[in-house]
Amino acid sequence: MKSAIRYLLAIVLSGGALYLAFRGQDLGTLQDELLRTNIFALCLGTALQLFAHFIRAWRWKYLLKPFKEHTNLFTAFKAVMVGYALNNVIPRAGEVGRPLIISKREKIPFAGALGTIVLERVFDIFIVGVLLFISYVLYADTLTASFPELIATTTPIIIIFIVALVFFIAAVLNEKVHHFIERVIAKMPKKIAAAVIKLFKTFTDGLRGLNRRSALPLLGGTAVVWFLYWLSMYAFMLTLPSAEFGAIGFGGTTLLLTLSAIAVVIPTPGGLGTYHYFISQTLILVFAIGSSRAVAFATLSHFAPYIVVTILGIFYAFREGVSLKMNTTKKKSPDNEALR
């Protein structure tokens, strides 16, 4: 029941954001913009995102080393694609489906595999924080005027996250902090506390197992993943050739990437609606691009990778025997209570 309510809220949120993005659009003008699409640039932007997902799978292999020294790269890539495909249908479902596949195929503890996903999010949120800082420095006045609620909300969240990250790193490196956090968790309801402590211990023990040889691939892989996302956004700007998009440049591409990342974090199916709204409004309010062209860009840059990733991920899911029902069943396991 709770899952159905969460999914319904996600659909409502997605639908509301789509309405705001497309409100007042002239469909004829929008169609004319879409017919100008540079197919090569659209395919290039999509291919760059797929390559970023492949590098993400390669980086994941190093996060999994504490649990298994050698994991199959193609299996990791399939799991990544299934995770994204599930997220494109049911928000956050991929965060469980992805470790489910790798734990099944590579005989890795599910809690440990799930912990690596959490660590990935740590890397990603840190990068988003850096990108948001750069974007704010470059476009402070415009962002504050255009998205006052967004800036007011994300800034304290990032500060809280950094503080939490410091505590978490301390828990990995210092036994006293580790035991202190366990005592805090123990004050939760017994059933939830047992699951959270088990997940926390598996995760921190795994991180302690990471060695210096893994540090460079993890840091370098993270940098390459986000650089490819940046290149993908830049390539997408070539899908609708115009002097307006040509003038956006490095800083503007960084801003669009930042807001696209924030849009995807919001619990909607694959950022559907929230991406369209944030990207189109940024193009209109910050870069003075016409509304039809801005909405067309948001539609194209979201639709192409969304469709390709979803189809490819669903294909791999069937090949691996993963279904939504199976995914939901796994969510109800003791290791997974902490996700609720």
Digit-coded pLDDT (tens) for 167-204: 666 666 567 776 777 787 788 777 777 777 776 666 66
Contact in structure between 301 and 278 (CB atoms under 8 Å): no
Residue 230 to residues 174, 256, 261, Cα–Cα distance (Å) = 36, 9, 11
Enter the tokens of residue 283. 């193009």
Phi-psi region of 323 (alpha: psi -120 to 50; beta: other; left: phi over 0): beta
User: Global pTM?
Assistant: 0.82
Question: Which residue type, as a one-letter code, is found at position 230?
Answer: W
The angle at the Cα of 235, spanning 230 to 237, to the nearest 5 degrees, equals 100
Q: What are the pLDDT digits (tens) for 231-285?
A: 999 999 999 888 788 789 889 999 999 999 989 888 899 999 999 999 999 999 8
Give phi and psi for 277, each to the nearest 5. -70, -50
The predicted pLDDT at position 128 comes to 85
The predicted pLDDT at position 282 comes to 92
Contact in structure between 62 and 225 (CB atoms under 8 Å): no
Enter the tokens of residue 255. 């801003």
Distance CA(83)–CA(304), nearest Å, equals 17
The predicted pLDDT at position 136 comes to 82
Residues whose CB falls within 8 Å of the CB of residue 62, separated by 6 or more in sequence, listed in order: 210, 214, 217, 218, 221
SS3 109: coil
Q: Is a pLDDT exceeding 60 seen at residue 209? A: no
Q: What are the pLDDT digits (tens) for 279-337?
A: 999 999 889 899 999 999 999 999 999 999 999 999 998 887 765 554 444 444 434 43
Domain boundaries of the chain, sorted by first residue: 21-339
Q: Is a pLDDT exceeding 80 seen at residue 147? A: no
